[in-house]
Each structure stands twice: as structure tokens, then as C-alpha cells.
Amino acid sequence: MKKAIIVLSILCGCLIIQQPLQKVVFAQPAITISNNQHELTKEDAKNLLIKYNDKVDYIYQGDASKFEYLKSKNLEGYVFLPDVETDIGYFVDKNTSDIYYFHPSGYLELVNDIKK
């Protein structure tokens, strides 16, 4: 009986060594990690602003190519004005989803307290 247990243990050990560990363990499903980067659309950017502050509506002013300052910084994204009396708008970077305070004169400051 002892010999049978020893032989069985050796055979099982050899099978485990020969097979890759991921094929032996059936209890863990394979995990696929997607590396796709998502560029924001104009609608995504507006929804992000609404998530940041839902007390106002946002009016689309154009993309970064319409503003010389943003073009000079090679930024890509969308500019919105809040529907309140102000001259400071928001720039949403379509590659990073960062929100900035923006004025066409060259004022650009990252908004710090964003709840993503």
C-alpha cells in the first residue's frame, strides 16, 4: 500500500512539473487585460463636466484647434463655457480626461478637486 501511494505521488508530481501551472489550476479563470486607450468624445467631455458640477449646463465652444493657445501647446480636447455669466471656460483634454480652467488669452489651470 505504501508503495502504491509513493508511486502515485511521484506520477502526480511529474504531471504537475510537465504541465504549465495555468493549465493545472482550474479554479482561476483567465484574466484578459485590455490596453485600449479611450479618447473622449465631445459628449463624453460634457458628461465629465456635468459629473464635476451638475448645477450648471455647459455650452460647447469648439475643439482645441480653434484656440491658438491650446494649439500652440499641442493639446487636443474640447472647450466649454458654463451657462452662467463668466469669461472663464473649461478645457477637457480628450487624451487624459483632465479638466482645466481655460481662457483664450492663455490662462490654463488644472482643476484639482475632480471626483472621477
Summarised one tens digit per residue, pLDDT across range 45-100 is 999 999 999 999 999 999 999 999 999 999 999 999 999 999 999 999 999 999 99
The CB density around residue 82, as the number of other CB atoms within 10 Å, is 16
What would the grid cell of residue 59 be? 455650452
Q: Phi then psi for 32, rounded to 5 degrees?
A: -105, 125
CA atoms within 13 A on the CB side of 103: 6
- Asked, for residue 20, whether it belongs to a domain, the answer is no
User: What amino acid is encoded at 62 in this protein?
Assistant: G
Range of the domain at 94: 42-110
- What distance in Å separates the CA atoms of residue 74 and residue 68, rounded to the nearest whole number? 10
Provide the number of structural domains found in the chain. 1
Domain contains 94: yes
0.85 surpassed by pTM:
no
Is 99:90 a contact under the CB 8 Å cutoff? yes
- For residue 38, what pLDDT is reported? 75
Computed over every residue of the chain, the mean pLDDT equals 81
